Amino acid sequence: MSIVDPIRFSFAVLAAALVLAGGASAAEDDYLETVPGPVTARILKVRDGDTAEVAAYVWPGQTVYVAVRLHGIDAPEHRGKCASEKAAAQAAQDRFAALVAAANNEVTLTAITGDKYFGRVLADMRAGDRDVARTLLNEGHVAPYDGKARRSWCSPDASAEAVPPRSPDAGPPAPPAPSARPEPPRRGGVPGFPGYRG
């Protein structure tokens, strides 16, 4: 008995749903490289400046939970190499969240493809009448990205603001502060998504 990868299964369900909903016929394409959409989705969480977790409504009564990375852009990283990259990462994430919040967290996904990292898909996303990636790019929160080299978000003399690496003999990092409410144990579902009970 084999175990099915829930992310691959989710993408397969999404692709199958779109085929049945009027996309390319299964006879034409044994495997869809791109699902044209549109697919209506609800933003559950904005992870960073170019990725969000969504509930995609593939057909009545069927929802696929998946991470969506925006096509053609790259955001600064929260775990960046310098303080300015970390600050830019937070600004990009905040702006992404504001764009989708202005559309009540309802978005439309198109040109949906697999990603080099399983567990997410690549897609174009519209929040209301705004192209989210284009808006973030035009406002300078993200950089164009073609899947190759990433832009540096640190200044040339970032050594003054760089985050120093931990010394190997510094011991283990301090444990995180306890939260006010411990999270209940979970089992089943897809990690990081509603209903997950690991």
| Residue 28 domain flag | yes
| Residue 58 domain flag | yes
Q: CATH no. for residue 69?
A: 2.40.50.90
Give the residue numbers spanning the domain of 37. 6-157
| Residue 87 domain flag | yes
| Of 187, 189, 193, 185, the residue nearest 4 (C-alpha) | 189
| Residue 1 domain flag | no
Whole-model pTM: value is 0.65
| Residue 194 domain flag | no
Report the number of distinct structural domains present in the chain: 1
For 30-50, the pLDDT digits (tens) are: 566 888 989 999 999 999 999
| Of 118, 119, 112, 15, the residue nearest 65 (C-alpha) | 119
Rounded Cα gap, residues 52 and 34, in angstroms: 19
CA triple 110-49-37, angle to 5 deg: 5
43 strand-pairing partners: 54
Of residues 51 and 174, which shows the higher confidence score? 51
CB 96 within 8 A of CB 49: yes
| Residue 184 domain flag | no
| Residue 192 domain flag | no
pLDDT band with cut points at 50, 70 and 90 for residue 137: very high
